[in-house]
Copies of this chain bind each other. A is one copy, B any other.
Amino acid sequence: MNKEERILKMHLQCPMPKLDFDIITLGHGSGGLLTNKLLDSGVFDVLKNDILDKRHDGAILDLTGAHAFTTDSFVITPVFFPGGNIGDLAVHGTVNDVAMCGAIPDYISLSFILEEGLKMEDFWKILISIKCACDDAGVRVVTGDTKVVDRGKGDQIFINTTGIGRIHPHAQISMDRIKPGDKLILSDNMATHGVAIMSVRDGLEFETTIKSDSRNLNHVVKHLLDEVGKDVHLLRDPTRGGVATVLTEVSRDCNLGIDIKQSLLPIDEQVASACEILGLDPLYVANEGIFVAIVSPGAADAALGVLKSYDICRNAAIIGEVVEDHSGKVILESGIGGKRVVNMLVGEQLPRIC
């Protein structure tokens, strides 16, 4: 089943409850009767699991060993976009951040800031997407919170997810393990998420079939660590600021240089054309479904093999390497052999992309 089919199935399993309200009101954030009514109407049923069902102020988890702990608030606009919505995005984002720490995500918290007037129907769609994304990742929502702000003091819905995951036994992710000669692998086409959002952004709309590639990366990362864990020196998802910003941060923080080649950067043709028309450098466009892995040279081919065995990484490519020269700088070799320094994103290409 593909994502659309799984979401449809979940909608059939958990139809929107019949309620005496069709929009969210301030009272739904009161902590009193209306909050209970909203949660008991079906929210708890959709997210159901042993831990959440206890309904205490917090979840009790049995944890042993090293764990990753990450947080992200999601404020994307529009809330619904080609290929997803703020709900699954909020799960993917945190699941992926946990995975980037070399960990296997287990638990997430889910906190809503709803704007008064949000359609209950939209809330339900988002909730179902959250559930589907959690099931796909194999994580459970174990605790949550719901706040409502006055009309005009929010933007439909903001979501915070915070994740916990066990560090993979083979993971040794650490900036100081990066060495000259290490290979940079990009897990799939870049710039897809950002361009999909732009295509539906007010005042910018253009016709395209490009869909966001927002998705969970935890399964492929786990497989990668299973196979070549000790050779994976760093994992990063190039979300806001794009591939350029992440590489610049890495080269700055590890005091080494990075060389990449334009011709090796995987990008969908339609996305590349859209970037050209919009005058955007795809290196700076935000992503939500890809990651950069820095691996020792001897393991690069094996790593690439693992990635390419997943449909969501079929365009994975070695895009460059770590070098001793020009420490702290990323140098891009263009298609015709010219070289330029890649800097961090300055200002904002497109605000509220995640």
Chain A residues engaging chain B, CB cutoff 8 angstroms: 26-27, 29-36, 55-75, 77, 97-98, 100-101, 103, 107, 109-113, 142-145, 147-150, 152-155, 158, 160, 162-164, 167, 173, 175, 236-237, 239-241, 245, 249, 253, 284, 286, 343-349, 351-352
Contacts and interface: CB of A to CB of B under 8 A. Distances in A.
B26 A348 contact: yes
A-B interface, 5 closest residue pairs, ranked by CB to CB distance from nearest: A31-B240, A32-B345, A58-B70, A71-B109, A162-B162
A351 B64 contact: no
Given A31-B240, A73-B145, 7 more contacts: A30-B241, A58-B69, A58-B70, A58-B71, A71-B111, A71-B144, A164-B164
A32 B160 contact: no
A interface: dominant SS: mixed
Contacts of A148: 351
A280 to B, nearest CB: 14
Contacts of A158: 73, 113, 149, 158
B345 A30 contact: yes
A62 B66 contact: yes
A227 to B, nearest CB: 22
Nearest to A164: B69
Q: Which of A74, A112, A249, A345 has the most CB of B within 10 A?
A: A345
Contacts of A61: 66-69
Contacts of A29: 240, 348, 351-352
B60 A63 contact: no
Nearest to A71: B109
A283 to B, nearest CB: 12
A107 B98 CA distance: 16
Given A30-B351, A154-B154, A98 B58 contact: yes
Given A29-B348, A31-B245, A347-B27, A70 B239 contact: no
Nearest to A102: B60
Contact of A109 (B26, B60, B69, B348): B69
